[in-house]
Chain A
Amino acid sequence: MTDQHSYKLSHRHLIGLEEYSRRDISLILETAASFKEVINRPIRKVPALRGKNISNMFFESSTRTRLSFELAAKQLSADILNFGSSGSSVSKGESLSDTVRNIEAMQVDCVIVRHSSAGVPNFLSQCLTSAVVINAGDGAHEHPTQGLLDMLTIRDAFGTLDGLKVVLIGDITHSRVARSNIWGLRKMGAHVVVCGPPSLIPKEIDKFGVEVCYRVEEALSEADVIYTLRIQHERQGEIFFPSLREYATLFGIDEDRLNLAKPGAIIMHPGPINRGVELDSRVINNGRSVILDQVTNGIAVRMAVLYLLNGGGEHDAE
């Protein structure tokens, strides 16, 4: 990679897209676009982060995000350590601050953290003196690399994000994916509509600069992007809507509903999909679904983030 970008990210960590500027986001997307070329090479490896220790700390189960980060780190020649544990650190008897001390003692350069409790990456970034923190999803707060890979996927399809109508459908209240997408998409000039049952639309979401709509048919009109979110019937023992069946009837996307959007509209989902609930199987396999492109783009975006936050450019001279 030749360093064509004189601009650097304005943050040391990636906690959320809330803090990132349009310029930061553009830089990551540009960098990711050039890394996509690396992914398609026969030997998918560049030496950009050789000698860096990156730790994947997943306190909540995840398959694709963890693998995606691991692959991204490996393709940049970094050494990656995987640390997995479910449940809060309190329940397993070690406090988060002790975990932090252990990370420091291991001389890790970069910590990728996934946690069920919102605010943990923020906590780590305040405690760790030298390591870079990358948020891989914290509670219902943010999942910035997901937001970035989604924006890259949309940009691949339309060439831009400016002026597009993006409809997020489903459980907005519990979705970190929705929050990161909203922050990012708004900064990149997209018009965002959130749609779902009122019990799953959080308070004062309009202050994010989004439009709220409870009728999916109305929300889909003139839509460029249909972004469906994973729905769960029960959340920590609480029920937010009567049944998955009723949800599918009211908010599930089938071919009829798909036809209400613009002819070139694309369909997205962060996975894992509940087939027949958020999306009808026919729609998933439809040519307008970019769900698998999202997965591929995830690697490129994570390479870009790892590269930019770990001073990858500085090693280019070697």
Chain B
Amino acid sequence: MQNNDIGTYGEMSLTVVRNGRIIDPASNRDETGDLWFLGDRIVDEPLNDESEKITVIEAKGKLVLPGIIDMHTHLCEPGYEYRETIESGTRAAVAGGVTALACMPDTDPVIDDVPTVKFIQDRALNSAARIYPIGALTVGSEGDCLTESGKLLEAGVVALSDAERSIGNPAILRRGLEYNRMFNLPIIVHCEDPFLSRDGQINDGYQATRLGLKGSPTVSEETIAARDIMLAEETGGRLHLTHISSAVTVQLIRAAKKRGVQITADVSPLHLVLTDEALLAYDTNLKVTPPLRSQRDFEALREGLLDGTIDAIASDHTPRSVDEKKVEFQEALPGALGLETMLSFIFTELVEPGHLSISSAIKALSTGPAKILGVEGGLLSAGNPADFLIFDPNSTWLVDADSLKSKSNNTPLAGRTLKGFVTRTVVGGKTSYLHR
């Protein structure tokens, strides 16, 4: 990162990104042209061109896309800095074209009070990407008492969640949905019945049987998803189901949306592309929560994404140290890195083969999450923050786990060749990543 372009943004300097293919799904824009920004905002092309102070960024043959807004990232700070820090996590983010991310509260301490939110915000002041903290729904994410969400909201949280812990007691979730209605705060839930998925290592199917690993059935997700949707319907609260993995869950959401229930959902790139068939041997980097499912499930997830049942793609970036991954499969902690590879992976596996248009991909990666979280971004029209990325769709790169920006290296995509990569990421008018 020697380029002195990094980090410089002149006093309200005018910049143009020239000759790129600009894709802005929200304004139905998909054309080769120029994108102008002044300081940290996107502007219309100036009428009188006083060319002395214009910075030009050439983007010929490249895509200019709204920055990715990742609504499910584990930054691990405070408490698990050996896995990731706000600094390393956001550097990984911008390397993947992610300009803003919502970080899960499953830190130590849990993000359940104002000082912890402030701590994250302080640490995020000079970070490469924007950070939106997600507050815990219950104190310590223990599922018993609701957090002071009014204060958390005032401090800047964009959603509430107990991260990877399903709310055990439905009365607590019901109360949370009901209470937080006045703030219009989305409650992000991970759907998993701990009894049904107890000791579950991978999807309950042929591979689990073949490898002799305890299976975690999809019904563990479905029963809780059904319950949570019913609670949202009854209370009128805003519910967001994160990293859904099963075909039945997609059906449940589709039906609920038809009834007008206020729910949204996201899926991880891995679940859109891989099935448990990928677990030929015991690759612990493929051990994720929820587990990779069957062909039928991933087809339904793709369908759900296409018809709008699923609103967003989220990385579910979960850094794990070598000592947490290079162990017996049963002992390995679940989770996979995602920030740096998500766009290229989606592009390679879904956009290039024609399963998903680039504009739908951007909707799911950027516009959709911005809407759910109620944050700026995801748009390239004048007045919006200059948060965008430049993507080279024609070159390929080899994923090398050890040269990723993340502090951990638990990517299940190591050794894969991906098509397309981020050449530049701009956050608030400032180049925070430049591919060399």
Q: Please report A residues at the B interface, Cβ cutoff 8 Å.
A: 18, 88-90, 95-97, 115, 117-120, 122-123, 138-142, 176, 179, 202-205, 207-208, 236, 238
Contacts and interface: CB of A to CB of B under 8 A. Distances in A.
Contact of B329 (A90, A118, A205, A207): A118
B208 interface: yes
Nearest to A183: B210
A256 B218 CA distance: 41
A96 B323 CA distance: 10
B326 interface: yes
A314 B208 CA distance: 39
A117 B199 CA distance: 12
Contact of A122 (B199, B208, B281): B281
A282 B331 CA distance: 43
Contact of B327 (A96, A207, A236, A238): A96
Nearest to A97: B326
A95 B327 contact: yes
Contacts of B212: 118, 138-142, 176, 179
A207 B323 CA distance: 35
Interface string B197-230: 0110000111011111111000000000000000
Contact of A203 (B215, B329, B330): B215
A40 B75 CA distance: 65
Contacts of A90: 327-328, 331
Contact of A139 (B205, B215, B323, B330): B330
B209 A123 contact: no
21 contacts: A88-B328, A88-B331, A90-B327, A90-B328, A97-B327, A117-B330, A118-B212, A118-B282, A119-B330, A122-B281, A123-B328, A138-B212, A139-B212, A139-B213, A141-B212, A141-B213, A142-B212, A179-B212, A202-B208, A202-B215, A205-B209
A203 B198 CA distance: 16
A184 B156 CA distance: 61
Interface in B73-120: none
Given A202-B209, A202-B215, 17 more contacts: A18-B210, A89-B328, A95-B327, A117-B329, A117-B331, A119-B282, A119-B328, A122-B282, A123-B282, A123-B328, A139-B213, A139-B330, A140-B214, A203-B209, A203-B215, A204-B206, A207-B206
Given A123-B282, A204-B205, A118 B331 contact: no
Contacts of B323: 95
Contact of B206 (A117, A118, A120, A203): A203
B205 A141 contact: no
Contacts of B199: 236
A119 B327 CA distance: 10
A281 B292 CA distance: 46
A122 B281 CA distance: 8
A141 B215 CA distance: 13
Interface of B: 198-199, 204-206, 208-215, 281-282, 323, 326-331
A20 B419 CA distance: 37
A205 B209 CA distance: 7
B210 to A, nearest CB: 7
A118 B199 CA distance: 13
Contacts of A120: 328
Contact of B211 (A95, A118, A238): A118
Contacts of A122: 281-282
Contacts of A139: 212-213, 330
A208 B206 CA distance: 9
Contact of B328 (A115, A176, A207): A115
A17 to B, nearest CB: 12
Contacts of B328: 88-90, 96, 115, 117, 119-120, 123
Contacts of A18: 210
A128 to B, nearest CB: 14
Nearest to B199: A236
A118 B330 contact: yes
A109 B113 CA distance: 57
Q: 6 closest A-B pairs (Cβ-Cβ)?
A: A141-B212, A119-B282, A140-B212, A117-B328, A204-B206, A118-B212
Contact of A118 (B198, B205, B213, B326): B213
B208 A203 contact: yes
B406 to A, nearest CB: 21
A203 B204 contact: yes
Given A118-B282, A236-B199, A238-B198, A204 B209 contact: yes
A96 to B, nearest CB: 6
Contacts of A118: 211-213, 282, 329-330
A26 to B, nearest CB: 23
Contacts of A88: 328, 330-331
A140 B213 contact: yes
A16 to B, nearest CB: 9
A96 B213 CA distance: 18
Contacts of B215: 202-203
B414 to A, nearest CB: 14
B415 to A, nearest CB: 14
Q: Which of A89, A119, A205 has the most CB of B within 10 A?
A: A119
Contacts of A176: 212
A142 B282 CA distance: 13
A209 to B, nearest CB: 12
Contacts of B213: 118-119, 139-141
Contacts of A208: 209-210
Nearest to A207: B206
Nearest to B215: A203
A182 B210 CA distance: 11
A71 to B, nearest CB: 27
